[in-house]
Chain A
Amino acid sequence: MTQNNYIKSYVHVKNNTVSLNGKVIYTDNDPDFKSFIKGAYKATETKYPKFFKMDSLSKLAFLAGDVLLNAEQLATEVEHNIALIFSNKASSLDTDRKHQESIQDKDNYFPSPAVFVYTLPNICIGEISIKHKLYSENSFFIFDSFNAAHLEVYATSLLVDNKADGVLCGWTEFDGEDNYEAFLYLVSPEGKIEHNTEEIIKLYSN
């Protein structure tokens, strides 16, 4: 029997605005990313002290994931079989540059362990998984641009093969304060928006 899958909910974080299912839930005119993401953290009552230790990519992805998953009201005390498939273009380049700066001068060579641990893009997946107890398959892909077709095929495969009960997918890009964007969506057997490439692109472009 063929199982129909749907996009149950989606979240955008871009242009100093956080929106959930198309509805703005936080916006800030401050052009500084640090101020914006801190304001969004407080406004969305994220309540996770480790948030402030994350790099910018993880803060962005974590906040987006947290807003979406909190709205789903997942039980916090049990594990969830929700897979994560993320993607972006710049990988962890923003943090890679910070690490590079700290090792550039041989006479002032003090690499920061706290920076170094974020020199991989998929660390942001771990941050979300730890808080929300998502113990399933996860992957992080690097593409030139948002690749809805790839995400759709992979998420469908996981659900059809019963590898996951739901799949959190999307694009989490941070390459400097002027170039950031998170778009995440939850694919599930429940929902109203059909899970296909056309709908994913439509939601992403909103």
Chain B
Amino acid sequence: MEALKKELKENIIEQLNLEDISIEEIGDNDPLFGDGLGLDSIDALELIVMLDKDYGIKLTDPKEGKAIFESVEVMANYISANRTK
């Protein structure tokens, strides 16, 4: 699980172009949206693509993302339970 969380942080930084942010600065339970990393709606769509591309998880309803993308911890738990690759 720790390796997955580290991988997620690296992917989030790279794919969302979070310049000048390191994986050490993203806490497992930090909120990704709002006051946390300050991600926006396009970032949410990008995370949905990432789930599909990297883990074979297809979210049919984008609204599901709101709960799944709460934090790296929540994302990692969801991916562990639902990944197909």
A residues contacting B by CB (< 8 A) are 38, 49, 51-53, 110-114, 117
Q: Does B43 contact A114, Cβ atoms closer than 8 Å?
A: yes
Q: Does B42 contact A114, Cβ atoms closer than 8 Å?
A: yes
Partner of B16, one of A38, A53, A111, A117: A53
Q: Does A110 contact B53, Cβ atoms closer than 8 Å?
A: yes
Q: Does B49 contact A113, Cβ atoms closer than 8 Å?
A: yes
Given contacts A49-B38, A52-B19, contact A110 B52 (CB under 8 A): yes
- Counting residue pairs across A and B whose Cβ atoms lie within 8 Å, the total is 27
Interface size class of B (residues with CB under 8 A): 10 to 19
| SS class, residues of chain A in contact with chain B | helix
B residues contacting A by CB (< 8 A) are 16-19, 38, 42-43, 45-46, 49, 52-53
When distances are taken between beta carbons in the complex, the residues of chain B under 8 Å from A112 are 46, 49
Q: Does A52 contact B52, Cβ atoms closer than 8 Å?
A: no
Partner of B42, one of A38, A51, A111, A117: A117
A117 CA / B49 CA spacing, docked (Å): 15
CB distance from A56 to the nearest CB of B (A): 12
Determine the residue in chain B with the shortest Cβ distance to A117: B42
When distances are taken between beta carbons in the complex, the residues of chain A under 8 Å from B17 are 52-53, 114
Given contacts A49-B38, A117-B42, contact A110 B49 (CB under 8 A): yes
When distances are taken between beta carbons in the complex, the residues of chain B under 8 Å from A113 are 42, 45-46, 49
